């Protein structure tokens, strides 16, 4: 799946399913995600030390398996988005955005590269392109780009309507850990404050035809927020998936060993 196909699913009101990687460096992991049937995989470079050349290899490998490659860039600085897309990703997740101006710079960078400097600012501030031909060319060139914006703080929630007014946004990403801390209820995802805030974000985005959802780590939370209208499903990550699988399997093996030892003593 490429970016344009993922955008088409979102525009059609479909739910999209993905996960995030922070440990994977080797592109040979990519076929695993393809066989699992994820619509997209987000490669994290905000909290993970993955380098640019490694991410470029992952982008190509993921796309070759039919999985849309998205990258979480380090921050909302516009050139970080441009570099990520130049590396071969079909979309960006821009973390911790708080103002409409910040988001406008990101969207223009994603949707109008390679415009830079004054020309880019004219597009952002006045919708003024070098020519009508340039506008049409850039729209066609960037139709494959998925833009995901991170809403993870109280200022972001307060500015959400203005942020969505910017346009050009495909997905709203909710960072549950960051948001719950700001709300004063760290990691308490059942707390009314967290539930109310998350519902507001999802419902406000949905009214604009924009998919929204949180990066939840457990099946019950994923199921709960699908039931509450989330169309952007971002489930767990590579590190947690490995840990949970081995924890469960190893626990069974150890229990079996203990039982066999006891039976042998009888």
Residue pair 118/34 in contact by the 8 Å Cβ criterion = no
Length of the chain: 266
Q: Note the pTM of the prediction, 2 decimals.
A: 0.91
In a domain, 157, yes or no: yes
In a domain, 148, yes or no: yes
Phi, psi of 38 (to 5 degrees): -65, 145
The pLDDT score that the predictor gives to residue 265 is 47
70 is written with which tokens?
């998205």
10 is written with which tokens?
């979102």
In a domain, 243, yes or no: no
Q: Which of 60, 89, 92, 94 is nearest to 77 (CA)?
A: 94
60 is written with which tokens?
């190509």
In a domain, 251, yes or no: no
The pLDDT score that the predictor gives to residue 259 is 54
In a domain, 83, yes or no: yes
Residue 257 has pLDDT above 80, yes or no: no
Residue pair 82/51 in contact by the 8 Å Cβ criterion = no
Q: What is the pLDDT of residues 96-124, one digit of tens each?
A: 999 999 999 999 999 998 888 888 889 99
Residue range of the domain that includes 199: 3-238
Distance between alpha carbon 137 and the CA centroid of its chain, in Å? 27
In a domain, 126, yes or no: yes
Residue 20 has pLDDT above 60, yes or no: yes
Phi, psi of 239 (to 5 degrees): -60, -45
CATH number of the domain encompassing residue 30: 3.20.20.60
Q: What is the pLDDT of residues 73-91, one digit of tens each?
A: 999 999 999 999 999 999 9
Residue 145 has pLDDT above 90, yes or no: yes
What is the C-alpha to C-alpha distance for residues 157 and 152, in angstroms, rounded to an integer? 8
How many domains are contained in the chain? 1
In a domain, 266, yes or no: no
Phi, psi of 41 (to 5 degrees): -130, 135
In a domain, 249, yes or no: no
Q: What is the pLDDT of residues 38-83, one digit of tens each?
A: 999 999 999 999 999 999 999 999 999 999 999 999 999 999 999 9
The pLDDT score that the predictor gives to residue 266 is 39
């Amino acid at each position: 799946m490429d970016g344009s196909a993922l955008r088409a699913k979102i525009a059609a009101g479909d739910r999209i399913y993905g996960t995030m990687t922070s440990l994977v460096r080797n592109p040979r992991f990519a076929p695993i995600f393809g066989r699992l049937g994820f619509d997209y995989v987000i490669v994290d470079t905000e909290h993970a030390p993955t380098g640019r050349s490694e991410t470029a290899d992952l982008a190509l490998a993921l796309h070759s398996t039919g999985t849309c490659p998205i990258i979480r860039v380090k921050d909302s600085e516009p050139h970080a988005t441009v570099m990520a897309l130049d590396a071969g990703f079909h979309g960006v997740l821009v973390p911790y955005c708080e103002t409409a101006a910040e988001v406008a710079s990101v969207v223009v960078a994603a949707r109008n590269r390679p415009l830079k400097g004054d020309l880019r600012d004219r597009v952002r501030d006045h919708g003024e392109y070098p020519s009508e031909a340039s506008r049409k060319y850039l729209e066609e060139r960037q139709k494959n780009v998925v833009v995901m914006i991170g809403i993870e703080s109280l200022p972001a929630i307060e500015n959400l309507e203005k942020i969505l007014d910017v346009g050009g946004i495909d997905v709203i990403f909710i960072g549950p850990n960051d948001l719950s801390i700001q709300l004063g209820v760290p990691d308490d995802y059942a707390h009314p404050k967290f539930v109310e805030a998350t519902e507001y974000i999802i419902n406000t985005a949905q009214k604009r035809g924009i998919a929204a959802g949180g990066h939840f780590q457990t099946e019950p939370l994923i199921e709960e927020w699908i039931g509450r209208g989330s169309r952007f499903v971002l489930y767990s990550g590579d590190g947690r998936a490995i840990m949970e699988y081995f924890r469960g399997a190893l626990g069974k093996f150890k229990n079996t060993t203990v039982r066999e030892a006891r039976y042998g003593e009888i």
